[in-house]
């Protein structure tokens, strides 16, 4: 490994992978599906016709959405719908990453070590490469906007999640764009994309996104910004793209993380109609430009006043003024698979939460090495709002270091709202165990730390001056640390009941996958 970039170490492709996990044979969506077909309970297909307008999401809500979706819901298999009403040549996949177990199979690390794996992949990477004139799978079929009859609404079955949605949305569209002054300064992010017409999409940028900085620079000159929207990808690309600043500073290309996860580079191809790159093995690519000084109301075609279900579990308000992408072409594989998600579901938890965990883990190893055992970005916060930190105190000084660890987590990931600290004997992935620690190792008046009036997330409906008059603006919040760890001097008084170690499979073999004797 050699160091040749200010933001990361570079792995040489073809060298033995140094990060300590077995890389599964996945480098695009189709190989990911083939892998899941070999794992019982993680993949399902149906040939029954489904309407992309609210029905598809309504079905998957019961099959496997999970997350903050209104109950009843559950964590279940990924699902491909092969018969889409009105789109005889299309398929839609939902829920690929809607299970931490499934992410473990797809990325190759044990599910309790995914944050560690992602943290290592963030600092030991393989940058993407361009394939030049080689044929790209994503360009097997090309539809140009200048062609007669071009209409993206008839070419791609963009779903609506609920009857109240502003319109059809591409929920897993990975936007790829670059600095107008430097095409090597690339950013990739998932953004909310609503279909507005036959060749226009609106795009929503949360504050601080790097592609929005590119857009603003181009717009200040009266210039369009070239962009590609990539859908149906290797899951390592999606999940690696969800790192945020300061973990991935301006100028860091998140596709490098996917390269590190896979041990080989992500392949890029030049778009057909705009000066931009696309993911060569994508199922679908939308090419276009973000128009300068053009805005539309997100719900201009529906008038619902709503956008779509967001990760906190609520349907967000339609934005009255969003930038517009003018579509110049759509390129696809033959018989493409459109990939989507249910907004508040467990898939968002995996996409946002595991990079959040990795960011916190890396920062803690630098600042307080040895204190943090593990971290979990909890489903209840959509992978963004709530983090559980499992700590191993070593001395009385760690009573203070535990709370410092929470402050580090809040500093590393600005959208984090609440942090719960637990000891190493608490299973941070078991909510009942975490709540048990809160009931027996926490006193509200001494173990709660408030950090008021700091930046949070605009999609939390409680983060408004109307909800809390002390807040200066929407997207500001009071952050809270719940210290549910035992004070060092009382450790011996908080020892959990210790049971005899046995092999339970001898008495109940069917529960543990063993044959009966």
Q: Provide the greatest CA pair distance for the chain.
A: 77
Name the fold adopted by 20-347. Pnp Oxidase; Chain A (2.30.110)
pTM, two decimals, is 0.93
Domain locations along the chain: 20-347, 368-493
User: Do 20-347 and 368-493 show the same overall fold?
Assistant: no
Distance CA 369, CA 360 (A): 12
Which one is catalytic: 267, 287, 298, 310? 310
Decide: 274 and 170 in contact? Cβ < 8 Å.
Answer: no
Spatial CA neighbour of 168 closest among 54, 61, 303, 72 = 54
The tokens describing 353, both together, are 């939460």
Phi, psi of 266 (to 5 degrees): -70, 135
- Sign of dihedral through CA atoms 336, 339, 340, 345? positive
pLDDT in tens, the chain (517 residues): 334 454 455 655 555 555 667 889 999 999 999 999 999 999 999 999 999 999 999 999 999 999 999 999 999 999 999 999 999 989 999 999 999 999 999 999 999 999 999 999 998 889 999 999 999 999 999 999 999 999 999 999 999 999 999 999 999 999 999 999 998 899 999 999 999 999 999 999 987 789 999 999 999 999 999 999 999 999 999 999 999 878 888 888 999 999 999 999 999 999 999 999 999 999 999 999 999 999 999 999 999 999 999 999 999 999 999 999 999 999 999 999 999 999 899 999 999 999 999 999 999 999 999 999 999 999 999 999 999 999 999 999 999 999 999 999 999 999 999 999 999 999 999 999 999 999 999 999 999 999 999 999 989 999 999 999 999 999 999 999 999 999 999 999 999 999 999 999 998 998 888 777 7
Task: For strands 124-125 and 8-10, give the pairing.
Answer: parallel
Task: For strands 322-332 and 337-340, give the pairing.
Answer: unpaired
Distance CA 65, CA 57 (A): 9
Distance CA 46, CA 78 (A): 11
Instruction: List Cα–Cα distances, 203 to 192, 264, 345, 402, in angstroms.
Output: 6, 31, 21, 40
310 part of the active site: yes
Decide: 198 and 151 in contact? Cβ < 8 Å.
Answer: yes
- What is the DSSP secondary structure assignment for residue 504, as one 8-state letter? G
Domain 368-493 grouped into CATH 3.40.50.2300 = no
Distance CA 338, CA 344 (A): 19
Distance CA 359, CA 495 (A): 31
């Amino acid at each position: 490994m050699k160091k040749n970039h200010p933001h990361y170490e570079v792995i040489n492709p073809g060298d033995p992978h140094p990060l300590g996990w077995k890389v599964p044979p996945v480098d695009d969506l189709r190989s990911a599906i083939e892998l899941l077909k070999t794992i019982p309970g993680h993949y399902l297909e149906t040939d029954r016709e489904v309407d992309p307008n609210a029905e598809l999401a309504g079905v998957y809500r019961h099959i496997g959405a999970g997350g903050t979706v209104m109950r009843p819901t559950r964590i279940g298999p990924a699902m491909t719908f092969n018969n889409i009403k009105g789109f005889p040549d299309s398929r839609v996949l939902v829920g690929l990453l809607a299970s931490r177990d499934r992410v473990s199979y797809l990325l190759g690390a044990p599910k309790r070590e995914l944050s560690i794996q992602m943290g290592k992949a963030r600092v030991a990477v393989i940058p993407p490469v361009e394939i030049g004139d080689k044929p790209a799978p994503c360009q097997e079929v090309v539809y140009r906007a200048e062609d007669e009859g071009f209409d993206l609404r008839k070419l791609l079955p963009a779903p609506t999640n609920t009857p109240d949605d502003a319109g059809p949305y591409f929920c897993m569209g990975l936007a790829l764009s670059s600095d107008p002054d430097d095409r090597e300064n690339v950013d990739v992010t998932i953004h909310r994309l609503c279909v507005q017409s036959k060749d226009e999409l609106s795009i929503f940028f949360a504050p601080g996104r790097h592609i929005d900085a590119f857009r603003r620079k181009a717009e200040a000159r009266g210039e369009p910004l070239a962009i590609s929207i990539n859908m149906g990808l290797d899951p390592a690309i999606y999940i690696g793209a969800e790192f945020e600043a300061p973990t991935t500073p301006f100028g860091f290309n998140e596709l490098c993380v996917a390269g590190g996860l896979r041990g080989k580079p992500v392949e890029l191809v030049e778009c057909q109609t705009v000066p931009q790159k696309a993911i060569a093995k994508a199922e679908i690519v939308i090419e276009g430009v973000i128009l300068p000084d053009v805005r539309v109301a997100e719900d201009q075609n529906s008038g619902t006043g709503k956008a779509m279900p967001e990760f906190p579990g609520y349907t967000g308000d339609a934005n009255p003024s969003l930038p517009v992408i003018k579509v110049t072409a759509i390129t696809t594989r033959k018989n493409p698979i459109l990939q989507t998600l249910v907004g508040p579901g467990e898939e968002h938890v995996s996409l946002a939460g595991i990079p959040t965990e990795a960011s916190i883990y890396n920062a803690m190893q630098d600042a307080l090495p040895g204190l943090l055992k593990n971290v979990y970005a909890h489903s209840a916060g959509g992978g963004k709002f709530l983090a559980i930190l499992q700590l191993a105190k070593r001395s009385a000084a760690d009573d203070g270091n535990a709370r410092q660890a929470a402050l580090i987590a809040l500093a590393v990931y600005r959208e984090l709202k609440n942090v719960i600290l637990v000891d190493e004997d608490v299973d941070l992935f078991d909510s009942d165990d975490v709540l048990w620690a809160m009931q027996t190792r926490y006193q509200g008046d001494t173990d709660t730390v408030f950090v008021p009036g700091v930046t949070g997330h605009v999609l939390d409906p409680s983060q408004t001056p109307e909800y809390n008059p002390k807040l200066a603006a929407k997207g500001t919040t009071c952050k809270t640390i719940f210290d549910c760890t035992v004070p060092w001097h009382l450790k011996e008084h908080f020892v959990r009941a210790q049971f005899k170690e046995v092999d339970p499979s001898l008495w109940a073999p069917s529960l543990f996958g063993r044959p009966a004797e």
